Amino acid sequence: MRRLRQIQFVSAAVLAVNLGISLAHHNTLALVETGLGIAALLGAFALTRRGRISAAVDTTLVVLTVMATALMWSFQGLADPAVLALPAILVFAALLGQRRFFLVLVGVMVASMFLLAAGTVQGWLVPRRFAVGYATFLGMSAILLATGLGVWMLAQDLRRALARVQEENERVVHSQGHIEFLAHYDGLTGLPNRTLGRDRLRVALEQAERTGRFVAMAHLDLDNFKTINDSMGHLAGDRLLVEASARIVAALEPGDTLCRQGGDEFLAVLADLGSEDEAAARTARITGALADPFPIQGLDVAVTASVGLAMFPEDGRDFETLLQKADTAMYQAKAAGRNTLRFFDAAMNSAVREHLHLASALRTALDRGELSLHYQPLVDLATGRIDGAEALLRWRHPEMGLIAPSVFIPVAERSGQIGPIGSWALEEACRQCRAWRDLGMRLTLSVNLSPVQFRRDDLESTLLNAIESAGIPAGAIELELTEGMLIEDTPALTQKLRNLRAMGVRFSIDDFGTGYSNLGYLQRFEVERLKIDQSFVRRLTQGPQDEALVLAIIQMARSLRLGTVAEGIEDAATLERLRALGCTTGQGFLWSRAVPADAFLALYRGWDGAPQAG
């Protein structure tokens, strides 16, 4: 639209000059023709203002062509200055982008000039001849200026178009470079990614083949990174990853490569090694680089790493094999307590195969009825009565026999099966609690939650459905949590505990004293009882220091108005000492192992408190 208005303005100016010349020379015919042309242009202006651009363009070009042709026919024919307007009109048509109309105009102009030439030659058209003077100069100058302006505008448009094309090309080149960068490097840390890491390892292996040296693949995983990411936010987590990767790179040898595997996992290719000891030493420098806290959001955040190492050529001769074995070793490092290093060995491979076998068998265990709950009585040490029970999950496989929870629960967590198994255990415990209540047994049933099950988003709805389906009060269920679950103290965890408390569910802290014993979370999360770990209870009578530790837990619980449950009571002497120290509840083999529901019912009905004697 801007170009159209400019062309209309220039055309009107040329016609105005011609109108002035016609008035000065009293040329009535030229005056009439020019006046009609100006009137027609005003109509084109009106179309432009109303937004009818296509009609305005056609009208403008037709008016100019007709005007130039009419002046040529009326006056000097092919010798008339108006002929100079024809190239200008074609330039305007090109500027306005009317390709088909442009061709029509060319045809009309050529045909008109042919007729003018033929008429002059045949004598039926006699052009008027005017003396050349200032009027001729003014008319031709106006047409020339209009043509020049049109060419200049066309050139400007071409330059802008070329500039846009060049700018777009530069963007494409930049995008291609960025895409190529992302194909080989991590966008957050700038480290090589797994693809480039594979190439770097290949080069290192080829060199090691020639020199007889070793290469190590190190799989690093930042410990507890998820806790930091969840509690401080993703921006803090990203900053930690960037700073940690920079420290690790600074600790590497010049020929080594650090790659980001994804999330909080990194791969390090340690090249040109002389021995496993050298690989361990280089890895120690990496973990040592993480020793100093990271200043994140005004806090000093401590980070450690678990590292698994696989060696070329002993553990593998290609990327996938070395990575798989380094990954296995890394998980062993985590299982060993984190912040440690493990080399791959064949026993680990055997453990992995056993894990896969158990995971496969566990998938059908529920449907086959191989899982069950056993119940161990909780005894009130003051009255000697059973006032509750702890529900403990058991798995009896038809071929492998009884499999300990310490073996299959981690498998269920890592394989993602803890969800359905945990839901079944909660539902079964609530059903059993209902059955016992129907028999007049007002017992509190304690249920263990694994950390993975506790973090699931559907825990509250699953537990609420189980309680409502069984028709029991929520206070009849006590969830046993570990200290490690509560130490994270994220907003999501706090809200989850509040929701469960609002339902009426009770909480106890299992294995208290073995983790991060903290008064703050005991008050904030409103737990009812502390369970004293059996390792402390069994050593109770062995010396004053062991007794002092148990006494400290009992006194702390009493000061917070919490109950205490001593786990693992196996003899009368330990029982009497716990009663003297003020422990409120006990459980252990002194009374009974965990037994099936029917055996527990028989135990309850025949209970006489005999183990309390003495």
CA–CA distance, 500 with 474 (Å, rounded to integer)? 9
Peptide bond into 293 cis (omega under 30): no
Q: Which two tokens stand for residue 491?
A: 């907003």
pLDDT digits (tens, 9 = 90+) for 50-99: 777 777 777 777 777 777 777 777 666 666 776 777 777 777 777 676 67
Count Cβ atoms below 10 Å from residue 517 Cβ, excluding itself: 15
Which residue is it, tokens 């992302």? 182
374 forms beta bridges with: 392
Q: Which residue has the higher pLDDT, 181 or 557?
A: 557
The pLDDT of 531-541, averaged and rounded, is 88
Provide the pLDDT for residue 107.
82
Of 68-82, 108-122, 414-428, the range with the highest mean pLDDT is 414-428
Domain contains 524? yes
CA–CA distance, 212 with 471 (Å, rounded to integer)? 71
**CATH number, position 262:** 3.30.70.270
Same domain, 278 and 146: no
Provide the pLDDT for residue 516.
54
Provide the pLDDT for residue 191.
92
Same domain, 227 and 133: no
Provide the pLDDT for residue 613.
36
Provide the pLDDT for residue 612.
41
Domain contains 297? yes
**CATH number, position 515:** 3.20.20.450
Q: How many domains does the chain have?
A: 3
The residue among 159, 180, 211 that closes a domain is: 159
Same domain, 526 and 600: yes
Same domain, 23 and 134: yes
CA–CA distance, 559 with 493 (Å, rounded to integer)? 25
Q: Which residue has the higher pLDDT, 497 or 608?
A: 497
Same domain, 129 and 219: no
The DSSP output letter for 293 is P
403 forms beta bridges with: 395
pLDDT surpasses 90 at 222: yes
Q: Which residue has the higher pLDDT, 136 or 34?
A: 34
CA–CA distance, 225 with 227 (Å, rounded to integer)? 5
Poorest-confidence range of 5-14, 166-175, 274-283? 5-14
- pTM here is 0.52
Q: How does DSSP assign 14-25, residue by residue?
A: HHHHHHHHHHHT
Would you say 432 and 391 are in contact if contact means Cβ atoms under 8 Å apart?
yes
The residue among 137, 159, 181 that closes a domain is: 159
Same domain, 95 and 236: no
Which residue is it, tokens 């929520």? 474
User: Which residues are within 8 A (CB) of 269 and not within 5 positions of it... i.e. 6 or more apart?
Assistant: 197, 200, 201, 204, 215, 216, 217, 218, 256, 257, 259
Where is 355: in which H helix or E strand?
Answer: helix 346-363
Domain contains 168? no
Provide the pLDDT for residue 464.
93
Q: How far is CA 311 from the centre of its chain?
A: 32
CA–CA distance, 349 with 357 (Å, rounded to integer)? 12
Q: Which two tokens stand for residue 226?
A: 């998820």
Domain contains 545? yes
Provide the pLDDT for residue 137.
57
CA–CA distance, 199 with 388 (Å, rounded to integer)? 61
Same domain, 509 and 392: yes
Which residue is it, tokens 């991590």? 186
The DSSP output letter for 409 is H
Same domain, 313 and 200: yes
Poorest-confidence range of 13-27, 209-223, 420-434, 542-556? 13-27
The pLDDT of 202-225, averaged and rounded, is 92
Same domain, 252 and 104: no
Domain contains 472? yes
User: Which residues are within 8 A (CB) of 589 and not within 5 positions of it... i.e. 6 or more apart?
Assistant: 568, 569, 570
Domain contains 354? no
Amino acid at 595: V
- pLDDT band per the 50, 70, 90 thresholds, residue 443: very high
Instruction: Please give the residue range of the domain that contains residue 322.
Output: 194-344
Q: Which two tokens stand for residue 21?
A: 């010349």
The pLDDT of 548-566, averaged and rounded, is 91
User: Which residues are within 8 A (CB) of 555 and not within 5 positions of it... i.e. 6 or more apart?
Assistant: 582
pLDDT surpasses 70 at 5: no
The pLDDT of 540-564, averaged and rounded, is 88
- Give start and end residues of each alpha helix (H) in 439-529: 451-455, 459-470, 483-487, 491-503, 519-524
Same domain, 326 and 457: no
Same domain, 543 and 491: yes
Domain contains 90? yes
Which residue is it, tokens 């059955």? 435
Provide the pLDDT for residue 75.
61
Same domain, 155 and 253: no
Q: Which two tokens stand for residue 40?
A: 């027609």
Q: Which residue has the higher pLDDT, 93 or 564?
A: 564
390 forms beta bridges with: 376, 446
Q: Which of 529, 483, 477 is nearest to 501 (CA)?
A: 477
Residues in the chain: 614
CA–CA distance, 123 with 127 (Å, rounded to integer)? 10
Domain contains 189? no
The residue among 144, 159, 174 that closes a domain is: 159
Q: Coil, helix or strand for 299? A: strand
